[in-house]
Amino acid sequence: MKKESVIIIAVIAVLAIILVIKLFTGTAILASPSGCSDSDNGKNYTVYGEVDYKGNLVKDMCLSDGYLYEAYCVYSSTVPAYIPYYTLYKCPTGTICISGVCAQSNQTIKCYKDADCIISPYYWCNGTKPCKLAPLCINPGTINAVCSSKTVCSYCPTGTVCKDGSCVTCSDSDGGKNYYVKGKLRLLHG
């Protein structure tokens, strides 16, 4: 069998699987006039992308022999609306298809979204605001993706203060400024 025939059979098999899944889950395959968005902004073969169409994700994916199934949005005058569409793309010589992108064989994608990055928890107070380090994926879904971190600060509700990166409530056993009664100050987390 020729290489082209194998690719066509593989594409038909993938489409048949998608059709069966859609039929059993009850989600429609046919497009209706609504939004379509592509996380890699169209035909971008070196960036992993997901097309979101009415809450259904259509992902860039690899087929055998270095072929990429690239998802993107295209305008359909029949509908009329932007709808998800696929194109079959042969990765250039010297590259292979890895995790939905064409890349050098020794390259990998480290992260697709912030949640893919794992960092050690660290909390502190910035004045009255509790702060923490949060994971950050820079250049997500590309071969240049790297994990880093970002600072996220919030505000403590009224009646609380920041202590060790958390909002805490103060409790005074003598009711506040009572100079004639010995009291104890207690910090309550929560």
The Cα–Cα gap between 88 and 159 comes to 59
Cα 97 to Cα 16: distance, rounded to the nearest angstrom: 22
Q: Which two tokens stand for residue 140?
A: 């997500």
* 93 and 15 in a common domain: yes
Which of 18-32, 123-137, 141-155 has the weakest average pLDDT? 18-32
Among 106, 141, 157, where does a domain finish? 106
Lowest mean pLDDT among 4-8, 46-50, 144-148: 4-8
The pLDDT of residue 37 is 92
> What is residue 11's predicted lDDT score, i.e. its pLDDT?
45
pLDDT averaged over the chain? 77
Q: What band does 35 get if pLDDT is binned at 50, 70 and 90?
A: confident
Q: Compute φ and ψ for 83, nearest 5 degrees.
A: -130, 160
Mean pLDDT of all residues in 95-118: 85
- Same structural domain, 7 and 98: yes
What is the C-alpha separation between 13 and 7, in angstroms, rounded?
10
* Structural domain boundaries enclosing 135: 115-189
Tell whether the torsion through CA atoms of 99, 101, 106 and 109 is positive or negative. negative
Q: Can you give the pLDDT at residue 121?
A: 79
Half-sphere exposure of 165 (CA within 13 A, CB side): 9
Query: Residue 26's pLDDT band (boundaries 50, 70, 90)?
Result: very low
Specify the long-range contacts of residues 157-160, CB closer than 8 Å, at least 24 apart: none
- Determine the pLDDT at residue 12: 53
- Which residue, 77, 106, 135, sits at the end of a domain? 106
pLDDT of 31 higher than 70: no
The verdict on 53 and 84 lying in the same domain is yes
* Distance from the first to the final alpha carbon of the chain: 68
99 and 143, same domain (yes or no): no
Sheet strands side by side (includes 146-153): 123-126, 129-138, 146-153
Q: Are the beta carbons of 128 and 162 closer than 8 angstroms?
A: yes
Does residue 41 register a pLDDT over 70? yes
Indicate the pLDDT class of residue 70, thresholds 50, 70 and 90. very high
On whether both 17 and 89 belong to a single domain, the answer is yes
The pLDDT, as a whole number, for residue 142 is: 79
Instruction: Assess whether 68 and 157 both reside in one domain.
Output: no
In this structure, which amino acid lies at residue 56?
A: N
Residue 68: other Cβ atoms inside 10 A: 24
Q: According to the model, what pLDDT value does residue 23 have?
A: 37
* Same domain (yes/no): 99, 27: yes
- Clarify whether residues 29 and 98 are in a common domain: yes
Chosen domain end from 42, 71, 106 = 106
Evaluate if residue 19 carries a pLDDT over 70: no
71 and 10 share a domain? yes
- Whether the per-residue pLDDT at 106 is higher than 80: the answer is no
Least confident of 108-122, 140-154, 160-174, 176-190: 176-190
Q: What is the pTM of this model?
A: 0.49
Q: Do 50 and 98 share a structural domain?
A: yes
125 and 87 both lie in a single domain? no
The Cβ of residue 145 has, within 10 Å, a number of other Cβ atoms equal to: 20
> How many domains, the chain?
2
Q: Do 10 and 96 fall within a single domain?
A: yes
Is 50 exceeded by the pLDDT of residue 190?
no
What token pair was written down for 88? 């079959």
